[in-house]
Structure 1
Amino acid sequence: MERRRQLISHTLKAKKRRLQPGPDPGDAAQPETWEGPGAVDSALRYLASLFPRQLFEDALPPLVLKHQLYSLVKDRTAVDRHLSRLKDEGLVRLFQLGFDTEAFGVVFAQDYVAKVLQSVEGKEQAGTVRRFLQTAFTSCADVSYEKGRMLRDFGFQDHDITLLVSAGVLTVRDAGSWWLAVPGAGRFVKCFIKGRKAVQAMIQKAKYKEVLLSDLQSRRAPRAVKLGLPYHIHDLIGAQLVDCVPSTSGTLLGGCAGGPGEAGPSWAHGLSPCPPASPAPPGPCCAWPTPDRRRAVPRTDGRTPGLDFPSMQWGPLWLQPV
């Protein structure tokens, strides 16, 4: 009997082992603070580390979107000023991605040159591309190039520009103008657009169309999210496609119906379960069929006097004549 009591006692006193939460995927190699003179540099290196190089067979340099930096460094003016200084120093280059006029990519110049030379190695365009990188690329830090300057300052003829376009270094902007481009970036843009839509759908399907940032980061990414959840989360926050609301449980992300810069009302972001009701019209209103109310008139046919209801109308009471 004593042995049985001891077994029951030990069984009831046994404690269940709790699963320890794993590391936060969004905090890997992430600096602790995003303030100070080195905040933009730290944020840029961190976002570049999130780029999955192996997804593209290491054929693309680490691509960072400019607005992703806004999700880490709150002072947007400081971000723009620092990027402009890095661009003038030749350390980074900005380029147009093509799917949005406001979306600019940021890439380290050294990585860009290495991947461009790797993409044209042994091809017909190799000599022209190498000359472009040594002259126009290093001398002009703009995101686009004009035909007049290409001919006058750098000596590139129409045939040379055609080779640069075929190599993917330039893309047509308009007549006589070309954007600086990354060869093979079309695959990245395709994966990026699909992944952004998938992460937005995850937020929209959540209860009240809002989810905690920590919960979203710990979820398993859908198959369409090939760039990784942290990469797309910084994209949505920086592009203002979601609202970030501080709460006692952490940062709350709410889906936003508008595009970048279109904040909209809080209910459109998913921060409330339903939109506000439309304002009521002034005065009492009823949708029941009401007669055209008129004053009592005397009867001449011998019937009981009463109100004359010549017609029945649909409409609010406050619209009917008295």
Structure 2
Amino acid sequence: MRTREQLRNVASSDLHDSTEEFGNIDDDDIPSNTAITAHQLIDQHMYGASKMSKQVIEKRLPNICFLHQVYSILRDNTTVDRELAQEIRRGRWRKFHVLGTMDDEYALMETKNYLAVIQEAKEEFIRETAAGINKEGQDLDSAFFDRFDALVQGPERETDVTRQSLSRTLSEKEVSQLCIYGLLIPHIQKDTYHFAIRRQGVYMSNYLKGRLELVRMLKRRPTKDILEKLLKTKRLRNTVFTHDFLLHDLVGSGRAERINAI
């Protein structure tokens, strides 16, 4: 994994002989260590061997990781929180509350990937209304997905959105359709919605089953511990995620502790 400092040095080296052609690279264009780590978790550690191909898995499960997984790699939580806030403010990443998790367990997803998810939902809406599957949405123009897209890219980048904010550009029926297509989830707090990630149920089923498998492996040990190398030889039967991805969950959430053997 390359850190922000390494990337800055690479950029400086590449530009040494070609500053006239490319100009200066803005420091804000270089991803933070937090963003780099989240990328690594998603791109390198998420999927393992499965009966389904990686391509099929990626179509079904969202490309997300959890904030506490990043904490397990970058131990300065305060710095991680600050860098993540900057990434969100710049519109590059978003933070989500996912059902089935604790209130402080946030999922992270690149904004460009979330915008692709919105487009995917729009295309599904168009197909289903044309086929008569979605009768309630047949009198709606699919352009309301574009208005939701603009809202996501606007200044309000929290995990939740109020009904009042939505009503500025969306009707009640359009909000209902966004819920049906997995982009909004009603909050327990009245007149508030969570921004949602489609197919999060399938994701969390794999995630929680994998977590449970690893915890049970540790609990069955007389000493309640195991060499990490040995643990990774044991097959995970109920999840598509890798040992590494799930170990970062256990360590980052405080459910397990990694100890360096002497």
Pair in the same fold by TM > 0.5 = yes
The within-5 A match list for 1:88-103 is 88-100=89-101, 101-103=103-105
SS of the residue corresponding to residue 141 of structure 1 reads coil
Q: 1:79 maps to what in 2? A: 80
**Pairing 1:110–2:112 present:** yes
Q: 2:42 maps to what in 1? A: 48
SS of the residue corresponding to residue 107 of structure 1 reads strand
Q: 1:155 maps to what in 2? A: 169
Displacement after TM superposition at 1:192 (Å): 0.8
The within-5 A match list for 1:140-219 is 140-151=156-167, 154-174=168-188, 175-217=190-232, 219=233
Q: 1:276 maps to what in 2? A: none
* Equivalent AA in structure 2 for residue 234 of structure 1: H
Q: 1:269 maps to what in 2? A: none
Indicate which of 243, 252, 261 corresponds to 1:229.
243
Distance in 2 separating the partners of 1:146 and 1:163: 16
Distance in 1 separating the partners of 2:260 and 2:3: 17
Displacement after TM superposition at 1:149 (Å): 1.9
CA distance 1:120–1:149, shift in 2 (3 Å): closer
SS of the residue corresponding to residue 188 of structure 1 reads helix
Q: 1:22 maps to what in 2? A: none
Distance in 2 separating the partners of 1:138 and 1:213: 44
Which has more radius of gyration? 1
The count of aligned residue pairs is 215
Displacement after TM superposition at 1:109 (Å): 0.5
CA distance 1:238–1:34, shift in 2 (3 Å): farther
> Is the 2:69–2:249 Cα contact (8 Å) retained in structure 1?
yes
The within-5 A match list for 1:5-44 is 31=1, 38-44=32-38
* TM-score between both structures, scaled by the size of structure 1: 0.62
| Consecutive unaligned residues in structure 1, runs of 5 or more | 1-30, 249-322
The within-5 A match list for 1:290-301 is none
**Pairing 1:240–2:244 present:** no
Q: Percent identity?
A: 20
* Equivalent AA in structure 2 for residue 221 of structure 1: R
Indicate which of 121, 124, 129 corresponds to 2:123.
121
Query: Higher RCO, 1 or 2 (CA under 8 Å, sep at least 6)?
Result: 2
> Is the 2:161–2:193 Cα contact (8 Å) retained in structure 1?
yes
* Equivalent AA in structure 1 for residue 151 of structure 2: T
Alpha-carbon deviations, 1:61-110, whole Å to 9, x = none?
Answer: 41111100011000000011111110011000111111122211000000
Distance in 2 separating the partners of 1:199 and 1:35: 34
CA distance 1:89–1:33, shift in 2 (3 Å): closer
Q: CA RMSD in A?
A: 2.2
CA distance 1:42–1:173, shift in 2 (3 Å): same
SS of the residue corresponding to residue 210 of structure 1 reads coil
CA distance 1:56–1:197, shift in 2 (3 Å): same
Alpha-carbon deviations, 1:168-211, whole Å to 9, x = none?
Answer: 10001132000010111111011111111001111112231101
Flag the structure with higher strand content.
1
Distance in 2 separating the partners of 1:212 and 1:181: 37
> Is the 2:163–2:191 Cα contact (8 Å) retained in structure 1?
yes
Displacement after TM superposition at 1:155 (Å): 2.2
Q: 1:66 maps to what in 2? A: 67
Flag the structure with higher helix content.
2
The within-5 A match list for 1:255-274 is none
Displacement after TM superposition at 1:244 (Å): 2.3
> Is the 1:96–1:179 Cα contact (8 Å) retained in structure 2?
yes
